[in-house]
Amino acid sequence: MNLLAETINAVIAREPGGPDVLQSVQRPMPQPQAGELLIRTAAAGVNRPDLMQRSGMPVPPGSSDVLGLEAAGTVAAVGAGVTDFVVGDRVMALLSGGGYAEYCVAIAEHCLPVPQALSLEHAAGVPEAAFTVWHNLFELGRLQAGDTVLIHGAASGVGSFAVQCAQAAGARVIATAGGAQKVAMLEALGIWRAIDRHSEDFVEVIRQCTEGRGVDVVLDNVGGPYVARNLDAMAPGGRHVSLSFLQGAKIELDLQLLMRKSLSLTSSTLRPKSREEKARLASCIRQHLLPWLASGAVRPLIYAQLPLSQAAEAHRLLEANANLGKVLLTVAAL
């Protein structure tokens, strides 16, 4: 196969805007450079940073205009110096962009082998969640067995993955979601307490559940007024980790409460991290999270699989917060 002579279908945003600005284009077949893999895409995950890029928010220098920060498929070619993967291997990859396409290029050190128990399509819903959860919940949040953790937005792709990882690690999980259907999904995962944010006060529920002690770790993707309430619900020595700020990036803090409880606040975002840092995280995930995926203790929960041609509809689903788990784009060419 002469890769240089071929073109592929890919999805870009032709201009900043809503889902309707997404369009299919023809692009040259990408070529793997030293240390890279060419992946024949089975599916790509749809994530909120994709929506942000589509709407015109700045992306790191050198990012592809083809959307998609995670994908899974089979290795079609390897660049010089790659020793961990060979042509034909099943892989899932964290990308700097380019996942919404029939083929994509990934840094080999940012790829993970797909466990046999996991389909290639479903594996596309793993990388963003795995990298995010490992770093934020376990490294920054220092979650360990016996801890109690509060996870907001737990019916989302990352949230539901975090719930399962926390349980696999031996933590007690309290989680919030909006509406009876999402709460039922969390209860089906066997968590300690699911809270409907529409009808329950999570601070009061936590006070009752923990007999006034509070939670050891909070994983928060809401921001805004939630942060002060989270601090109120935390135990002495608690760790608060911010993933996003859907209700606002600017907050007011009660430093007296922070100091009295010896609380810590931290946060991170994945996309701007260095190549070396992402490689380090991938190594940790291989060691700690892949065994849970291989055993079935953790699995990506998939809400919808749409063809690549329906990328706009996938974005609408995510923007409407209608999903229970991950939304994927599958590549019909496979």
Give the DSSP H or E segment for 107: strand 103-107
DSSP code of residue 164: H
Q: Are 46 and 314 in contact (CB under 8 A)?
A: yes
DSSP code of residue 75: E
Question: What is the pLDDT averaged over residues 238-260?
Answer: 88
What is the SS3 assignment for 289? coil
pLDDT in tens, 93-139: 999 999 999 999 999 999 999 999 999 999 999 999 999 999 999 99
User: pTM score, two decimals?
Assistant: 0.93
Say which residues have a Cβ less than 8 Å from residue 59's Cβ, sequence separation at least 6.
Answer: 53, 97, 271
Please report, rounded to a whole number, the percentage of residues in the chain having pLDDT higher than 90. Answer: 88
Q: Are 176 and 204 in contact (CB under 8 A)?
A: no
Distance between CA atoms of residues 134 and 72, nearest Å: 19
β-strand pairing of 215-220 with 193-196: unpaired
pLDDT in tens, 273-293: 999 999 999 999 999 999 999
Q: Report pLDDT for 248.
A: 75
Inform me whether the pLDDT recorded for 5 exceeds 50: no
Read off the pLDDT band of 250 (50, 70, 90).
confident
Say which residues have a Cβ less than 8 Å from residue 12's Cβ, sequence separation at least 6.
Answer: 22, 23, 25, 65, 66, 67, 100
In the chain, the domains with their CATH numbers are 3-126+274-330 (3.90.180.10), 130-267 (3.90.180.10)
pLDDT in tens, 133-188: 999 999 999 999 999 999 999 999 999 999 999 999 999 999 999 999 999 999 99
Q: Report pLDDT for 322.
A: 85
Query: The tokens of 4 are what?
Result: 């240089």
Q: Are 129 and 135 in contact (CB under 8 A)?
A: no
Distance between CA atoms of residues 229 and 61, nearest Å: 36
Mean pLDDT of the residues in the chain? 94
Distance between CA atoms of residues 88 and 172, nearest Å: 40
Q: Report pLDDT for 332.
A: 63
